[in-house]
Amino acid sequence: MRYRRSRIPGGTYFFTVVTHGRRPFLCDPHNAECLRAAFRYVLDRHPFTVDAIVVLPNHLHSVWTLPSGDRDFSTRWRLLKSHFSRNCGAACRAEASPSRQAKKEEAVWQRPFWKHAIRDDADLRAHVEYIHYNPVKHGFVNAPKDWPYSSFH
């Protein structure tokens, strides 16, 4: 199945990215730092604004705004995922499926990511609140301010 992706130049998007098999390794301190490094790597090469982000053990949510005239979020995610996958600890990697084994890929991330184009200020506010409340929803903390892997701070 092919996913249709609307691409709005300079648009703002909400994303959900999930680890392969929903394995919970993103909040390991070493892996969290690797994820930060991957974001820095991509931001240096393909600038964008991270409006909000939360990293949970097996997935992350974020809102990005792309530069005016730029609509290429897919390259940014590909670079981010591959940089993290090459540099994170071995515990992140799962046994690859036969199709990935043929390509010598290791499974770290689910292949597709979920994207929603932000429509207006109210939509942006709702998604930022969703991001910041997510660790509470999953029972990790009692208040968004208590989760260390969030832009709430």
Spell out the domain ranges in the chain. 12-146
Asked if 73 and 66 count as a contact pair (C-beta separation under 8 A), the reply is yes
Query: What pLDDT score was predicted for residue 52?
Result: 98
CATH 3.20.170.30 is the classification of domain 12-146? no
Return the amino acid letter for 144.
P
Confidence of residue 10 (pLDDT cuts 50, 70, 90): confident
The span from the CA of 146 to the CA of 81, in Å, is 26
Query: What pLDDT score was predicted for residue 57?
Result: 96
What pTM did the predictor assign?
0.85
Token representation of residue 81 = 């995922």
Query: 55-69, 93-107, 118-132 — which is least confidently predicted?
Result: 93-107
Pick the catalytic residue from 3, 130, 133, 149.
149
**With pLDDT > 70 as the criterion, what percentage of the chain qualifies?**
84
Active site annotation includes 13: no
